[in-house]
Amino acid sequence: MENRYGWVIVGAGALITCLAMGAMFALPVYLQPMADETGWTRAGISGAMTIGFIVMGVAGFLWGTLTDRIGARPVVLIAAVTLGLGLFIASRANDLLVFQIAYGGLVGASGGAFFAPLMATVIGWFDKHRSLAVSLVSLGGGVAPMVITPLATVLIEQMGWRNAMMTTALVATVLILPTAMLIRRPPAVMNAPAEGGETPMPAARPSIASVFRKPQFIVLAGVFFLCCAAHSGPIFHTVSYAMLCGASALAAASIYSVEGVAGLFGRLIFGVLADRLGVKRVIVGGLVLQAVGIYTYIYIGELTQFYMLAMVLGLAYGGVMPLYAVLARDYFPAHVMGTVLGGITMTSSIGMAFGPVGGGWLFDTYGDYHWLYVSSAAIGLAAALVALTFPRPGVPQQGQLQPA
């Protein structure tokens, strides 16, 4: 019965992730109408997203740690209100700084409250099919650009960007709040009675520093950082590269849609494979596939080739990303999962921040994207090599935290 309810939490998590991430990452479709109406620069408006990434990474660690203490439900409820408030203030802002604080600060902070808390909760409910369950939750983030972004575009055309953003704020908050009430803490964390009817003493909670010093955490965070650093630059600069190769702006932008669809299939396929073949093997294979795909960019120049490569890369990084949470559970007990996932999310956000800036610097320096793809592929291979240093799950290692 308990395991069956885990699938309810999977469904709730997918819906919450779709609404929250969709609302946050819809900013690109607001860019043009906002710039036209307010006179703000595109760099200034986009700066809100940069702030959001940084805040989301730091906040993800704090939310994750808080989840270990009070559970995911109150965290998600607080974040839903923060998300709605941030979007509402941003929609009414007449000053760029106010917009950046509202969108980058409040919305970014709320965005960090969904991955670590929800993943930590879901993986605690499953012993079998854990990889598939985590991948299904992450489907919400994959579906979001194909649902929320087009919806925001329609709303902007009908009522203007301010009312569209305000409507998104209200709808997202109203839908997330009742859905979050379905979230329950995993049975293992709720101090259920042990055999003989006795209630076990709560496990001693390790300090955050002791968790972060574990070799398993250091390797996991390093792999997540390198993985995101590898693909963030190519993802961000794909449209510009395709346009340099002769594609129209609309056709170049559609490459993202192909990657998004491929990512949905990647989450499902990699989740099933990880349950059958082992998480570590699938992650290493996905990282190698990602690195090869990134390197292949230097040999293509036609739109059809861009689409084909987008399918490969979407499948690879879309399938690998959710599995880091599953691998973390193989090495750390449930009562520190929020802290662990929050920590690796913070490192991944830092990795994501390097790619776009580094790619832009390489293009400005060398006049093309050749070295972006070479260096990104090398970083991707480094991620795969570091991932090989993980021990097999279930084999105790010196300094490893053991489940309580």
Q: What share of the chain is helix, strand, coil (3-state, %, to 5)?
A: 80, 0, 20
Question: Domain containing 273 — which CATH number?
Answer: 1.20.1250.20
Domain of residue 297 covers 209-387
pLDDT at 403 over 80: no
**Burial class of residue 325, CB neighbours in 10 A (0-12, 13-18, 19+):** buried
How confident is the model over 285-298, as pLDDT tens digits?
999 999 999 999 99
Quick check: is 194 in a domain?
no
Say whether both 8 and 81 belong to one domain.
yes
Q: What is the pLDDT of residue 196?
A: 41
Say whether both 294 and 332 belong to one domain.
yes
Quick check: is 193 in a domain?
no
pLDDT at 299 over 80: yes
27 is written with which tokens? 């900013």
Confidence of residue 129 (pLDDT cuts 50, 70, 90): confident
Say whether both 383 and 252 belong to one domain.
yes
Say whether both 305 and 376 belong to one domain.
yes
How many other CB atoms sit within 10 Å of the CB of residue 402? 9
* Residue scoring higher pLDDT (204 or 30): 30
Say whether both 216 and 176 belong to one domain.
no
As a whole number of angstroms, the distance between CA 272 and CA 40 comes to: 46
How confident is the model over 37-75, as pLDDT tens digits?
998 887 788 778 778 878 888 888 888 888 888 888 999
Say whether both 160 and 276 belong to one domain.
no
Say whether both 123 and 49 belong to one domain.
yes
Confidence of residue 397 (pLDDT cuts 50, 70, 90): very low
Say whether both 47 and 152 belong to one domain.
yes
pLDDT at 84 over 80: yes
Q: Which amino acid is at 357?
A: V
Quick check: is 402 in a domain?
no
How confident is the model over 361-371, as pLDDT tens digits?
888 888 888 99
pLDDT at 341 over 90: no
As a whole number of angstroms, the distance between CA 250 and CA 240 comes to: 11
Say whether both 167 and 309 belong to one domain.
no
Q: What is the pLDDT of residue 197?
A: 43
Quick check: is 192 in a domain?
no
Mean pLDDT over 252-266 rounds to 79
Say whether both 378 and 243 belong to one domain.
yes
pLDDT at 204 over 80: no
Evaluated on CA atoms 72, 76, 78, 82, the torsion sign reads: positive
What's the distance, Cα to Cα, between the start and end of the chain in Å?
A: 23
Say whether both 330 and 367 belong to one domain.
yes
CA dihedral 344, 62, 100, 147 (to 10 degrees): 60
Quick check: is 201 in a domain?
no
Quick check: is 190 in a domain?
no
Quick check: is 202 in a domain?
no
Say whether both 66 and 173 belong to one domain.
yes
Number of domains in the chain: 2
Q: What DSSP assignment string belongs to 10-29?
A: HHHHHHHHHHHHHHHTTHHH
pLDDT at 392 over 70: no
How confident is the model over 139-197, as pLDDT tens digits?
777 777 677 877 887 888 899 999 999 999 999 999 999 999 998 888 765 544 434 44
How many other CB atoms sit within 10 Å of the CB of residue 391? 15
Q: What is the pLDDT of residue 121?
A: 85
Quick check: is 225 in a domain?
yes
Q: What is the pLDDT of residue 248?
A: 79
As a whole number of angstroms, the distance between CA 207 and CA 337 comes to: 13
Q: What is the pLDDT of residue 250?
A: 67
* Residue scoring higher pLDDT (89 or 393): 89
Q: What is the mean pLDDT of the chain?
A: 82
Mean pLDDT over 262-282 rounds to 86
DSSP one-letter code for 103: I
Packing angle of the helix pair 72-92, 2-24 (nearest 10 deg): 20
As a whole number of angstroms, the distance between CA 176 and CA 13 comes to: 10
